[in-house]
Every structure is written in C-alpha cells, then in structure tokens.
Amino acid sequence: MKHLNKILIAFAIIMGLNATAQDSKNKWAVSFGVNALDTKTSAGGGNNWLDGHLSQAFSVKDNWNILPAISYVGVSRYVGDNFSVGITGSLNKLDKFVSFNPTAAGHDSRGYVVSNPGDLKYFGIDATVKYSLKSAIKSEKLEPSISLGLGYSTLGENSYQTISPGVGVVYWVSNNIGFEFASKYVKSYESRQILTSVNAPSMLQHSLGLVFKFGE
C-alpha cells in the first residue's frame, strides 16, 4: 500500500506539471485520496427519515471507518454542458458497525450500538454522472457539484448493487490542481439485517483528496 501511495503521488505531480493551462482543453481528470464509510445511516431508529439517516453524519471518532492510506481512485471525462462521466473505485475495512438496539449493553443515549463486525473488507466501484455548478455560482476557484452513480459493492462475503446520489466541492489552487471533498449516500439494493448482523448495509461515504485535470 505504501508503494501504491508513492506511485500515485508521483503520477499526480507529473500530470500537474505537464497539464495545459486552459480548462477548456483539460477534459480528463484523475482523483485520489482517502475515504470514510459510515453505516449509521441504515441502522434504523430516529424520530423520522432525516433524523434516522443523517443524524451523527459527521461523528468521525465513533462511526467512521477510515483506512490510513490512499483508498479511492477515480478517472472522469468532461462531455459538455457542465456534465462529466467517470468511474471510481474505493476500498476500506469495516471495524465499526452501527446498529439500533436500545436493549443491548453499551448502547448510547439514543439506543445505538457500535460493534466490530470482524474487520470486513469493503470494495466498491461506481460509474458516475456529475454536474458542475461552477458556472452557476460564477466562481473561479470553487466548484460545487451534484452526482449520481450506479455501482457494485462487496463487503466481506456479500456482494450487492448500489445507487449513489452525492454532492461535492473542489477548490482549485491552480488551473489543473484542486482539493476535493465529496459525500454520497451509497444505497444498497439488498436488505440489511438489523441489530448485530451485517448483510448489505447502505452507507454514507465521504472522500477527501486531490484532483488533476489534463489533456484533450
């Protein structure tokens, strides 16, 4: 994993140095960084759908699963009219699985329990359509976007299809290099076993990394 990190960073530097300065000619983009998975969104409980799915969305210490290495890589191409299409692959390891079980020992004040499901390996791949809002807000540096992805995930021995609406923002430090933060709701097509068992949970996935534009 350390060698992969060095290779990706070297590749990114080369792309940043060789890329042209005009955005209209930089139709390709490569991104990479770290991602976090949060299973709280499909644990159940809460006063309503919004509360049950998005409360504690940024409870990093308690709920997020993060690999301390580069854990997602994406490539995309601009196709016109603020739209781009791409593909992203990510990996992670689940050692924090959130369940709603107010009768279990160790639950918090809202009835949620965080347990280790066995350091389950996660891999996901998504084909994504993204719409840039940069021209709408008339910003030179800040580029917010909305996206929709269709994908396939594996968690431990389980595999399932997903649909992933998301939002993101890039801060461009130059014409070709930017810092990217994005969040998406990875909706599973399969059912999740509530309480303590892991089946195919829907999750929030957050990512933070670098993006480089280049080429025709």
Question: What CATH number does domain 2-214 carry, 2.40.30.10, 2.40.160.20, 3.90.1300.10, 2.60.40.10?
Answer: 2.40.160.20
Average pLDDT over residues 18-30: 63
Greatest mean pLDDT range, 14-18, 108-112, 183-187:
183-187
pTM: 0.81
DSSP string for residues in 118-144: S-EEEEEEEEEEEEE-HHHHT-SSEEE
**pLDDT band at residue 102 under the 50/70/90 scheme:** low
Helical residues (DSSP H) of the chain, grouped into ranges: 2-18, 49-54, 60-63, 134-137
Closest to 41 measured CA to CA, from 148, 182, 192, 160: 192
Tell me how long the chain is. Answer: 216
* 186: amino acid identity, one letter: V
Domain ranges of the chain: 2-214
* pLDDT over threshold 60, residue 24: no
- pLDDT the model gives residue 146: 98
